[in-house]
Structure 1
Amino acid sequence: MAKVLVVDTNFSSGPILEFLRSLGHTVYCCGGNPQDYLAKNDPGYIQLDYSDAEALLALTRELHVDHLVPGCNDRSYLSCALVNAQQAFQGIDTLEATLALSNKATFRQLALREGLSTPALHTEDAVPAHDSVIVKPVDAFSGLGITVVRAGDAAGLQQAVQQAKAVSKTGNCVIETHVQGQLHSHSAFIQQGRVVQDFVVIEHGSANPFVVDTSHLAIDFPNTTLKQLRAEVEHMAQRLSLTDGLVHGQFLLTEQGFAWVEMTRRCPGDLYSQLIELSTAYPYAASYASPFVGLKAASMPGGDARWILRHTLTLPKGAVMAHLDFKRPLMVTRWVPLAVSGDAIAPSPKSRIAILFAQAASSSELLDLSQAAQQRQLYDIHPARPTCQ
């Protein structure tokens, strides 16, 4: 059997490691934080800051790795692409294609040139006075450094640009027209530039408007829009000669159509893979990992659909957690604790308390659960009381 290195130690990469080991491979994982889930629990853990691509390359050679598998974040995929440019591995895109997608500015420019559905792009000195805009760091994620600026607010725009550049590792930002719409994600598995299986998920943020914490499969999603999403993913896959595997994108659904927020090649985090698997029985984590070890993704769901809500428990403001009280009965399908009583919980997205998967009996009940989660009415999180002196 082969030697496989997974470049991530977050809990969301756990199902990927499980699948790879089920094939009989020797599987290692690497990451710089020894307190991460897989770092503490996986026998194949190697401490390494994989943002150092040269160090990652040296590790692949030291271990004589046959396959390199990116984890559930963009830095992991970028480092794998940098290594792949010097020592080829299966399933990883060229560095050119990776940079085109991973940088928000280059992705937006490419999408506009290729005629994809995407917001208009602006420069700092040429923002239309009648346009509200959103300012983002080009290379930061999880909602960090993002600001919406109302039309005509020149001082607010300057402040937003400074904030975004301060967060950006390269000191750059992107300014684009602020599209009003409902956030969704589109997960598509491609083979030879064609979509063979895909899923649409509706996404909300309750603790932080720029961070998804509540999601479920989209109900009655318009088929015409789905066909256009597929067509644009296939266009980009063929334009960039993307390898077989996952193309995961986010988009805003509007009354006029949709607008892409981003496209990525890595597996999304917060156990998104388990949302799809619990909802449809489709082997999402296995299908993501398969192309990196020379296998094909599954092309059909594995069973009947279930109405599953995924909710990440976070806080809008920091606190030391004591306990939580559920405010209504829930059919809990899976509960993944990430914190314990006494832990200091930083504001979203810096800390997570748990990932909740709850099952509903119908689509209407699922929508009701989702609404309650968005309004933060499923539970109360109680802070710890000060200790007596």
Structure 2
Amino acid sequence: MEKIMNKKKVLLLNAGHTEIPIIERLKSRNYFVITSGNREDMPGHKMADKYIKADYSDKEAILKIAEEEKIDGIISCAYDTAYTTAAYVAEKLGLGGHDSYEKACLLHQKDNFKSLCVKLNIPNPISTPFFEKEKALEYIKTADYPIMVKPVDQASGIGIMRADNEDEGKIAVENAFEKSKEKRIVIEPFIEGAQESFVAFVVDGRVMICTACDCYSPINPFLIQTETMPSKNFSILKEQLIGITEKLFSELDLVDGIITLQYIVKDGIPYVIEMMRRCLGNRFLYPVSYVTGLDWYDALVCSELAEDCHNMKIDEPIAKYAGHHAIMSTHNGIFEGIEIPDEIMEHVIEFDELFKSGDIINDYMKERMGYIYYKYEDMKEIEVAAKSFNERIKLKVK
């Protein structure tokens, strides 16, 4: 008992499939892990030393837990509202490892971030923010379609819709306001182009290591299903993306750690649409680790616990090209299993099956039955494979 009580305590703000690698890294460092979140059925809670039910978007509730448990560190999860909560708690308790609460809100709320992009001359689809539904509905009467309508404070495509006319615009505005916790939305022009993500680990304001990925969203256009890396445009856009990243760190004096930019490439220009300083969904950091040689989950833990990140170990990459694919259905029903051909499995490093036979698929546009994490040695081969997974991986759903 005394040995356990001498362990440093870390509060992790969720415990889903995405956060399990963080729990594993914390346990390997001998931390006492406390998990939170509203859902008691999250698999990571069983791995933690303690679970305390609370909404991670409720910063005062999380602060109360942190104070009562006398935590030594706090780590976010794969949601923007959790990152701002972690920043708030860290600031209140002097824990370090996070940007100030003000900066976290500036970066992770879409209207604030887009205003910052304009100020810093970072290419982006110019957004118009709205705090009142009536004004947004008036705006769409004369909007230049197509447009994108987004809540300012959601992730994983929640609440995002494209509208090609006023009728669709009305539906999109209603939907975005409904999904926004802050009841704020942005409307911006739709940019036609390739969607990519750039992820970097930054120390002392300089990019230490980075890569970028191509993004594919064939089932739900606003939920990335498959990503392969490095992206086709990485070598061309790398210096420009590093410049944008280091400009953000310099302007805001951000703390060491991870940053991800999502952008649309049009005419050779990366138009930034999203920014995150948090753990990423889909265990995205697995393939990032494969192609860079850095354990990005360990790096994330190191930075969010305010440890020294200068000498992170970088090994020889295990893959030239790597990626992840979320196994999704094209309709609702009863899940009965997954069949993956041998010619795909020979490239798979890890296969996580999240549904079991008999589970109900209630929302096929969002739910993932499982994930594969894979490697290839040729860019064209991985691109062809990624585009074929939905057809070649067979789901049994009735």
Q: Distance in 2 between matches of 1:148 and 1:103?
A: 19
Backbone CA RMSD of aligned residues: 2.1
In structure 1, the partner of 2:87 is 81
1:28-39 pair list within 5 angstroms: 28-39=34-45
Which residue does the alignment assign to 1:228?
240
Aligned to 1:382: 396
Q: Which residue does 1:353 correspond to in 2?
A: 369
Letter in structure 2 aligned against 1:250: Q
Q: Counterpart of 1:18?
A: 24
CA distance in 1: counterparts of 2:342 and 2:192, whole angstroms: 32
2:69 aligned with 1:63, yes or no? Answer: yes
What SS does structure 1 have at the residue aligned with 2:275?
strand
SS of equivalent to 2:278: coil
1:214-293 matched pairs, under 5 angstroms: 214-293=226-305
Letter in 1 for 2:338: L
Residue 31 of structure 1 deviates from its aligned partner by: 1.9
* 1:204-247 Cα shifts (integer Å, max 9, x gaps): 11221110111111244353421111111111112222111111
On the 8 A contact 1:309/1:369 being kept in 2, the answer is: no
Residues of 1 paired with 2:310 and 2:286: CA distance? 16
Unaligned runs of 5+ residues in structure 2 are 1-6, 130-135
Does residue 337 of the first structure (1) align with residue 353 of the second (2)? yes
- Cα distance, 1:299 vs. partner? 5.5
Displacement of 1:309? 2.9
Letter in 1 for 2:374: A
From the superposition, tell whether residues 66 and 130 of structure 1 become closer, same or farther in structure 2 (CA, over 3 Å): closer
The match for 2:132 is none
> 2: CA distance between counterparts of 1:90 and 1:222?
32
CA contact (8 A) 1:280 1:304 kept: yes
User: For residues 42 and 4 of structure 1, do their structure 2 counterparts lie closer, same or farther at Cα, with a shift above 3 Å needed?
Assistant: closer
Compare 77-86 and 289-298 and name the one that shifted more. 289-298
CA distance in 2, matches of 1:115, 1:277: 31
TM-score (norm 1): 0.91
Q: In the alignment, residue 195 of structure 1 is paired with which amino acid?
A: V
Once the two structures are superposed, residues 287-310 of structure 1 have per-residue CA deviations (whole angstroms, 9 ceiling, x without a partner) of: 111022223166574213413231
Q: Compared with structure 1, are the counterparts of its residues 250 and 89 closer, same or farther at alpha carbon in structure 2 (3 Å cutoff)?
A: same
Pairing 1:158–2:158 present = no
1:114 deviation in Å?
1.5
Q: Is 2:206 the counterpart of 1:194?
A: yes
C-alpha distance 256-368 of structure 1, shift in aligned 2 (>3 A) = closer
Deviations 1:72-111 (A, max 9, x none): 2222212112223322212111111111111111111111
Query: Structure 1 regions of 5+ residues with no counterpart?
Result: 385-389
Query: 8 Å contact 1:74–1:266 — kept in the other structure?
Result: yes
Bigger fraction of residues in helix = 2
Residue identity (%): 23
Q: For 1:72, which of 72, 78, 103 is the aligned residue?
A: 78
Query: Runs in 1 of length 4+ with deviation above 6 angstroms?
Result: none
Q: Distance in 1 between matches of 2:272 and 2:369?
A: 30
Q: Report the equivalent of 1:364.
A: 380
- After TM superposition, the structure 1 stretch with the greater mean CA deviation from structure 2, 241-250 or 353-362, is 353-362
